[in-house]
Amino acid sequence: MTAFTIRPVGATHTDIDAIAGILSESQRVLDPAFLAADRPDHDDWAGRVNDPQTEWALALTPDRLPAGFAGWRYLPGTSHLHALFVADAYQRQGYARALLAHHWRTVMRRQPETQIFTLHVRKPAYWARALYERRGYRYYQAGDEEKWPALATWIDFRRSLGWWPLEDDKLLMFQPASCARHSREDGNPGDTMAPRAHGRR
C-alpha cells in the first residue's frame, strides 16, 4: 500500500506552482472542448488560497512530489468542495479518496456544527460523478433544502453572487455530515480514479 502525505497549502510560489501543475496534468488527457476557457492563472490561485473562508490541502507522494490537491469553503453549517484534482501520473492510486476523507475530517475538526457537504460537478464528468456517488454524495433536487436546511446556506450564497441557478452543464451534489462521519476515516490508497474536473465555483 502506497504511503503519502496530505498537508495544508501555503500561499507560496512553490505551492501555487504545484497546484497549477496538478490542474494542468489532471486535464492533459481530456478533450480540449471539455476544458473551461477561463482556467485560473497564478494570481487567481494565490487569491483563492489566501481567502480566509477557504482551506486548501496538497497530497504528496512518498518522494514528496505534488500529486493532488483539494480546496473547500466554510459557511455556517456547510462546507463546499471547490476543487479536487489529481495529476494524471498519480491517478488510480487513492489520492482522490484520501483528499476527500481529509476534507471531511478537517471540516469537522474546525467546524463541528457542519451539517452538509456540497460540491459542483460537470455533467459530462462521469469519472468524478462516479467517485462522489461511491463516497455517498447525492444529487440535489429542488426542494431538498426543506429536508436539509443547511443546503439553503450554499444556495443563498450562490444566489447573492448571481451564480444560481447553476450553469446548464453543472450539477449540485451534497452529503449530510452524519453520513460523511462514517466514511471520513477511509483515506487509504486503492480507489479507482480517472481524470477529474468539476468546474469553477
Q: Which helix (H) or strand (E) holds 158?
A: helix 150-160
For residue 36, name the pLDDT band (cuts at 50, 70, 90): low
DSSP state, 87?
-
Query: All 3 cell numbers of residue 182?
Result: 462514517
Select from 68, 80, 15 the least CA-distant residue to 42: 15
* pLDDT at residue 181, as a whole number: 65
The residue ranking higher by pLDDT, 1 or 112, is: 112
CB 80 within 8 A of CB 57: no
* pLDDT at residue 193, as a whole number: 34
Q: State whether residue 119 is helix, strand or coil.
A: strand
Query: All 3 cell numbers of residue 7?
Result: 498537508
Q: Is it the case that residue 31 has pLDDT exceeding 70? A: no
The residue ranking higher by pLDDT, 124 or 141, is: 141
Least confident of 19-23, 35-39, 147-151, 154-158: 35-39
Query: Is residue 151 left, alpha or beta, with left meaning phi > 0 and alpha meaning psi from -120 to 50?
Result: alpha
User: What is the distance between the alpha carbons of residues 60 and 185, in angstroms, rounded to a whole number?
Assistant: 19
Q: Which helix (H) or strand (E) holds 14?
A: helix 13-26
Contacts 24+ apart (CB under 8 A), 63-71: 64/5, 66/18, 66/19, 66/21, 66/22, 67/4, 67/22, 67/93, 67/95, 68/22, 68/26, 68/95, 68/96, 68/99, 69/9, 69/18, 69/19, 69/22, 69/99, 70/99, 70/100, 70/102, 70/103, 71/9
Q: May I ask the CATH architecture of the domain 5-180? A: 3-Layer(aba) Sandwich (3.40)
* pLDDT at residue 25, as a whole number: 85
Residue 23 neighbours by CB under 8 Å, 6+ apart: 39, 40, 85
Q: Is it the case that residue 26 has pLDDT exceeding 80? A: yes
* pLDDT at residue 44, as a whole number: 84
pLDDT tens digits, 50-90: 999 999 999 999 999 999 999 999 999 999 999 999 999 99
% of the chain surpassing 70 pLDDT = 82
Ordered by start, the domain boundaries in the chain are 5-180
pLDDT tens digits, 185-199: 554 433 333 333 344
- Find residue 91's DSSP bridge partners: none
For residue 94, name the pLDDT band (cuts at 50, 70, 90): very high
